[in-house]
Amino acid sequence: MSQSGNSLSLFERFIRFSGVGVMGTAAHYLLLILLVQRFAMDPVVASSLGALLGALVNYYLNYHYTFQSNKRHREALTKFMVVAVLAFFMNALFMYAFATALQWHYLLAQVLTTGLVFLWTFLANLLWSFRE
């Protein structure tokens, strides 16, 4: 990687984060749909498991591509996981509110939830997890 993560503009990082997020979200949604449709799992539980898979995909790609971090994995992963755990609980809370309490279709609930959690994770990872 010839371009240092520090030389990327905020806009470039946001675009990269968004692209990585699409991949992590795809993993999240694929597992969610599989668990709900194939195994009749509760959507909140399935979404939570999907969020864990998405977090692992996101960490790897954000560390290497978005933020091109030089931090040791021990520090970066620890901080990333704190953000991910908070995002995990936000995801579960919003999914419960939308899919269970409001009885919206689980995919509509997940799309709205994803949008709400997205900004939080970008800012937290930019300003804390991968900050040099």
Q: How many domains does the chain have?
A: 1
pLDDT in tens, 81-128: 999 889 889 989 999 999 999 999 999 999 999 888 888 889 999 999
pTM above 0.85, yes or no: no
Contact by Cβ (8 Å): 70, 49? no
How far is 57 from 84, CA to CA, in rounded Å? 11
How far is 74 from 109, CA to CA, in rounded Å? 34
The number of CA neighbours under 13 Å toward the Cβ of 83 is: 25
Is 20 domain-assigned?
Answer: yes
Is 45 domain-assigned?
Answer: yes
Is 93 domain-assigned?
Answer: yes
The DSSP result for 43-105, as a single string, is HHHHHHHHHHHHHHHHHHHIIIIIS---S-HHHHHHHHHHHHHHHHHHHHHHHIIIIIIS---
Is 2 domain-assigned?
Answer: no
Task: Give the residue numbers spanning the domain of 39.
Answer: 10-129
Taking phi first (over 0 means left), then psi (-120 to 50 degrees means alpha), and beta for anything else, what does residue 91 get?
alpha
Is 3 domain-assigned?
Answer: no
pLDDT in tens, 19-64: 999 999 899 999 999 999 999 999 999 998 998 899 889 899 999 9
